[in-house]
Structure 1
Amino acid sequence: MKYIKVIKVPGILKLQSIYLGFFMILFSIILITSLFDLKYKFSYSWLSRSFEDVSTEFFIDVIASEISLYSPNTDQADTPLPKVLLSTVLNIWPEDIRTFLGRELPGFLTFNTEIAVAGIGTNLTTLPMESPPPLEILLKEREQSEAEIAKSNSEENPPVNTPSLKTEKDAVFIYHSHSWEAFLPLLEGNKTANEAVSLAETKNVIAVGNKLKEELAERGIGASQSKANVTEELKKKNWNYNQSYILSRELVQEAMAQEESIQYLIDIHRDSQNRELTTTKINGKDYARLFFIVGKENKNYERNLALAKELNQKLEEKYPGISRGVFIKTKDDGNGVYNQDLSSQSMLLEFGGVENNSMELDHSIEAFAEVFSEYFWKAEEVSGSGN
Structure 2
Amino acid sequence: MRRPNRQAHVFSLSKINIQSFFMAGIAFIVMTFLIIAMLTTADNHSRFSSSALHDWTGQMQSDWFVHLLGAENRYFLDALEDYSTPSLTTAVLELATNMNLEDPRTFLGRELPGFSGFDDTLVVAGQGTDFTNTSIESAPPTEEVLREQTGADNPSEEGEQEERSSTEMADEEPIIHISHAHNREAFHPEVEGKEDLHPEENIVKVGEYFADAFREYDLPVEVSDDDVTGMLDERGWDYSRSYDLNREIVEGAKEEHEELEFFFDLHRDSVGREHTAVTINDEVYARTFFVVGEDHADYEQNLEVATEIHNRMEDKWPGLSRGVLTRGGAGVDGIYNQDLSPGAMLIEFGGVDNTYEEVYRSADALAEVLQEYIYEELEEE
Shorter-chain TM-score bucket reads 0.7 to 0.9
After superposition, the Cα gap between the structure-2 partners of 1:343 and 1:74, relative to the gap in structure 1 and judged at 3 Å, is farther
How far apart are the structure 1 equivalents of 2:206 and 2:30?
Answer: 51
How far apart are the structure 2 equivalents of 1:55 and 1:252?
Answer: 41
* Aligned counterpart, 1:179: 183
The AA in structure 1 aligned to 2:140 is P
Aligned-residue Cα RMSD (Å) equals 3.1
Deviation for aligned residue 1:332: 3.1
How far apart are the structure 1 equivalents of 2:67 and 2:248?
Answer: 44
Conservation of the 8 A alpha-carbon contact between 1:163 and 1:217:
no
* Aligned counterpart, 2:249: 251
The AA in structure 2 aligned to 1:35 is T
Report the count of equivalent residues.
330
Q: TM-score, normalised by structure 2?
A: 0.77
How far apart are the structure 1 equivalents of 2:103 and 2:340?
Answer: 33
* Aligned counterpart, 1:365: 363
* Aligned counterpart, 1:12: none
* Aligned counterpart, 2:116: 109
- Aligned pairs for 1:254-269 within 5 A: 254-269=252-267
Deviation for aligned residue 1:306: 0.9
The AA in structure 2 aligned to 1:141 is Q
2:56 pairs with one of 50, 65, 71: 50
1:129 and 2:136 aligned: yes
Q: Give the SS at the match of 1:233.
A: helix
How far apart are the structure 2 equivalents of 1:209 and 1:285?
Answer: 21
The AA in structure 1 aligned to 2:125 is A
How far apart are the structure 2 equivalents of 1:32 and 1:51?
Answer: 28
* Aligned counterpart, 1:199: 199
The AA in structure 2 aligned to 1:265 is F
After superposition, the Cα gap between the structure-2 partners of 1:163 and 1:169, relative to the gap in structure 1 and judged at 3 Å, is closer
Conservation of the 8 A alpha-carbon contact between 2:179 and 2:224:
yes
Conservation of the 8 A alpha-carbon contact between 1:175 and 1:267:
yes
Q: Give the SS at the match of 1:356.
A: coil
Deviation for aligned residue 1:86: 3.8
1:311 and 2:309 aligned: yes
How far apart are the structure 1 equivalents of 2:272 and 2:262?
Answer: 30
Deviation for aligned residue 1:231: 1.6
Q: Give the SS at the match of 1:37.
A: helix
The AA in structure 2 aligned to 1:169 is E
Deviation for aligned residue 1:198: 1.1
Conservation of the 8 A alpha-carbon contact between 1:115 and 1:327:
yes
How far apart are the structure 1 equivalents of 2:30 and 2:108?
Answer: 31
* Aligned counterpart, 2:212: 214
The AA in structure 2 aligned to 1:275 is R
How far apart are the structure 1 equivalents of 2:75 and 2:209?
Answer: 52
1:100 and 2:103 aligned: no
* Aligned counterpart, 1:339: 337
How far apart are the structure 2 equivalents of 1:330 and 1:86?
Answer: 24
How far apart are the structure 2 equivalents of 1:289 and 1:234?
Answer: 29
How far apart are the structure 2 equivalents of 1:263 and 1:102?
Answer: 37
The AA in structure 2 aligned to 1:185 is P
1:37 and 2:34 aligned: yes
How far apart are the structure 1 equivalents of 2:216 and 2:297?
Answer: 33
Conservation of the 8 A alpha-carbon contact between 1:128 and 1:271:
yes
Q: Give the SS at the match of 1:341.
A: helix
* Aligned counterpart, 2:240: 242
* Aligned counterpart, 1:286: 284
After superposition, the Cα gap between the structure-2 partners of 1:178 and 1:80, relative to the gap in structure 1 and judged at 3 Å, is same
Deviation for aligned residue 1:212: 0.9
After superposition, the Cα gap between the structure-2 partners of 1:145 and 1:110, relative to the gap in structure 1 and judged at 3 Å, is closer
Q: TM-score, normalised by structure 1?
A: 0.76
Conservation of the 8 A alpha-carbon contact between 2:63 and 2:86:
no
How far apart are the structure 2 equivalents of 1:45 and 1:53?
Answer: 16
How far apart are the structure 2 equivalents of 1:327 and 1:124?
Answer: 10
Cα deviations by residue, 1:289-314 (Å, 9 ceiling, x for unpaired): 11000111111211111111110011
* Aligned counterpart, 2:146: 138
Conservation of the 8 A alpha-carbon contact between 2:183 and 2:202:
yes
Deviation for aligned residue 1:45: 3.6
- Of residues 139-148 and 308-317 in structure 1, the stretch that sits farther from structure 2 once superposed is 139-148
Cα deviations by residue, 1:147-178 (Å, 9 ceiling, x for unpaired): 69xxxxxxxxxx99x798xxx53111111110
* Aligned counterpart, 2:16: none
Cα deviations by residue, 1:179-237 (Å, 9 ceiling, x for unpaired): 010112221x3x22xx221111xx11111111111111111211111111012211221
Highest Rg: 1 or 2? 2
Cα deviations by residue, 1:21-72 (Å, 9 ceiling, x for unpaired): xxxxxxxxxx977514379957674552423444678668868989x9xx98
Deviation for aligned residue 1:105: 2.2
How far apart are the structure 2 equivalents of 1:72 and 1:295?
Answer: 37
Conservation of the 8 A alpha-carbon contact between 1:265 and 1:345:
yes
Q: Give the SS at the match of 2:340.
A: coil
